[in-house]
Structure 1
Amino acid sequence: MKVVAFNRTLQGTGASRRLRKAGQTPGIIYGGTEAPKLIALDGNALWHALKKEAFHGSVLDLEIDGATQQVLLRDFQMHAFKQLVLHADFQRVDASQKIHTKVALHFTNAETSPAVKLSAAVISHVLNELDVSCLPGQLPEFIEVDLSKLEAGQSIHVNDLTLPEGVTAVTHGQNLTIVTSSIPRGAVSADAAAE
């Protein structure tokens, strides 16, 4: 995805407030070998871009004064009740160095899994995103979690996932639980009463 930004020279609360009133959002780019750079982005375009999942989990092409650099969205602050992005942080990425970021998990085939179809189990998502490490070119937009073989009372862990080539999960030696399936308490007692 492409993002257009403009150089920003003034900083501070008053300058940022004036920028927001003009329909722009203050931001910063940091990382890499260059010094941090203050930028301004179109507030409305940024608001709509933040609604797309790909904007959060992919390497972006950020254009400033005709020069393009690759960045990752690292953080953003929203107004408490207005449709307004207060600030955005971007980190430069080097194509030859691994990055550490979070990737969204997409859950598929829940309704056809034996846990739901045969046992009327409830599937609980423990994690919705996963910490990964990879080269910028190998960063997936999302990781698919297939629930088609999930039985009642079972769980799916990070080690059960099939990750894209070059992508490794950052779990610090733990086999984190991603999904659990359990039969609701009322359903168990109803089955026992029926027997």
Structure 2
Amino acid sequence: MENTGVMNVELRKSTRKGDNNQLKREGYLLGNIAGKGVDSISIAVKKDVFRRSMKEFGRNGVFKLVVPDGQSYTVMAKEIHIEPVKNEISHLDFQMVSFSEKIKQEVAIKFTGAELLESKRLLINSTIDSILLEGLPQDIPDEIEIDVSNMEAGESIQFSDIKLPEGLTSTIDPEQKMITVVGSKIRGAVEGEEES
């Protein structure tokens, strides 16, 4: 994750509701930049610029936000607030980061091979869909992949079974179950018919 995305942003001189609504009408997303020992900076970024950057560099990408006077801030997206009714982004919270200081960030879990389990009429029972990892910003991935293709009914994966990328740690209990594979009711019904 050596690459850093660049986003040009506007500084919000006013945070009044009327001014915010005007920016939204012009296609901007409202946000803030926060960092240790600095006042929060109110910004606005074009919706299409943000979406394009997220698609290219990922949810946990490191970005350089450039304001009109040329000053820039190295950040990660800490929180992307979604408006439930419209299912649209309502606000962005960016966190200033340093390539030499560790941070904590939520990372999504992605299961691979789930379609093979489904073909055997098995289901994944997952207790968690993301994990909090600690590491340098440039080392934090968008997701952790867990291959479930060879699992059978009754088998489970604990956190200790997951190999984290180098340099990353987590405070999750190593014995915490992440997923369990269970047989579906349909399968049981079919087997019952075969036995009779």
TM-score class, shorter = 0.7 to 0.9
| Structure 1 residue ranges without an equivalent (≥5) | none
Choose which of 58, 61, 65 in structure 2 pairs with 1:62: 65
1:116/1:122 contact within 8 Å kept: yes
Q: What are the superposed Cα offsets for residues 12-36 of structure 1, whole Å, 9 maximum, x if unpaired? A: 2222112212222221101134321
Shift of 1:54: 4.7
In the alignment, the residues of structure 2 paired with residue 140 and residue 30 of structure 1 have an alpha-carbon distance, to the nearest angstrom, of: 21
Q: 1:130 to 1:54 in 2, by over 3 A?
A: farther
Q: 1:82 to 1:186 in 2, by over 3 A?
A: closer
| Structure 2 residue ranges without an equivalent (≥5) | none
In the alignment, the residues of structure 1 paired with residue 110 and residue 56 of structure 2 have an alpha-carbon distance, to the nearest angstrom, of: 11
Choose which of 17, 23, 36 in structure 1 pairs with 2:21: 17
Q: What are the superposed Cα offsets for residues 133-174 of structure 1, whole Å, 9 maximum, x if unpaired? A: 111121112211011331211111211101100111231x36
Q: Is 1:187 aligned with 2:187?
A: yes
Residues 19-168 of structure 1 mapped to structure 2, 5 A cutoff: 19-47=23-51, 49=53, 52=55, 54-65=57-68, 66-82=70-86, 85-112=89-116, 120-168=121-169
In the alignment, the residues of structure 2 paired with residue 110 and residue 53 of structure 1 have an alpha-carbon distance, to the nearest angstrom, of: 26
Task: Report the 3-state secondary structure (helix = DSSP H, G, I; strand = E; otherwise coil) of the residue aligned with 1:188.
Answer: helix
Q: 1:116 to 1:89 in 2, by over 3 A?
A: closer
Shift of 1:68: 2.8
In the alignment, the residues of structure 2 paired with residue 160 and residue 176 of structure 1 have an alpha-carbon distance, to the nearest angstrom, of: 10
In the alignment, the residues of structure 2 paired with residue 57 and residue 107 of structure 1 have an alpha-carbon distance, to the nearest angstrom, of: 18
Root mean square deviation of aligned Cα: 2.5
Shift of 1:101: 0.9
2:61/2:138 contact within 8 Å kept: no
Letter in 2 for 1:163: L
In the alignment, the residues of structure 2 paired with residue 194 and residue 174 of structure 1 have an alpha-carbon distance, to the nearest angstrom, of: 41
Q: Is 1:5 aligned with 2:6?
A: no
Q: 1:194 to 1:71 in 2, by over 3 A?
A: same
State the identity as a percent: 27
Shift of 1:189: 4.3
Q: What are the superposed Cα offsets for residues 44-86 of structure 1, whole Å, 9 maximum, x if unpaired? A: 3335555x39542222222223233221112233445557533
Any runs of at least 4 consecutive aligned residues in structure 1 with deviations exceeding 4 A, and if so which?
A: 47-50, 79-84
